[in-house]
Amino acid sequence: MNKNLTFRLVLLLALIGFGVYLFIHFDLFLFFKDKDKIINFIKSSRYDVPVFIVLQIVQVVIAAIPGEISGFIGGYLYGPLWGTLYSTIGLTLGSWLAFMLARFFGEPLLEKVVKKEVFEKFDHFMEHKGLLVSFLLFLIPGFPKDYLCYIMGVSRIPVMTFIIISTVGRFFGTAMLSISGNIARNEQYPLLAVVTVAAIIVLLLVWRYHDKILEILKNSNNK
7-47 pLDDT, tens digit each: 555 555 565 555 555 555 445 555 566 778 888 888 888 88
Query: Whose CA is closest to 121, among 98, 101, 142, 100?
Result: 142
Instruction: Tell me which DSSP letter residue 216 carries.
Output: H
What is the predicted pLDDT for the residue at 167? 92
Instruction: Note the pLDDT of residue 130.
Output: 64
Please check whether residue 9 is in contact with residue 102, taking contact to mean a CB–CB distance below 8 angstroms: no
pLDDT tens, residue by residue, 98-139: 999 888 887 777 777 777 666 666 665 555 546 777 777 787
- What is the rounded CA–CA span in Å between residue 59 and residue 32? 8
| Rounded Cα distance, 70 and 86, in Å | 11
Is residue 88 within 8 Å of 96, Cβ to Cβ?
no
Is it the case that residue 212 has pLDDT exceeding 80? no
How high is the mean pLDDT of the chain?
Answer: 76
Predicted local distance difference test score (pLDDT) of residue 197: 73
For the chain, the structural domain boundaries read: 44-222
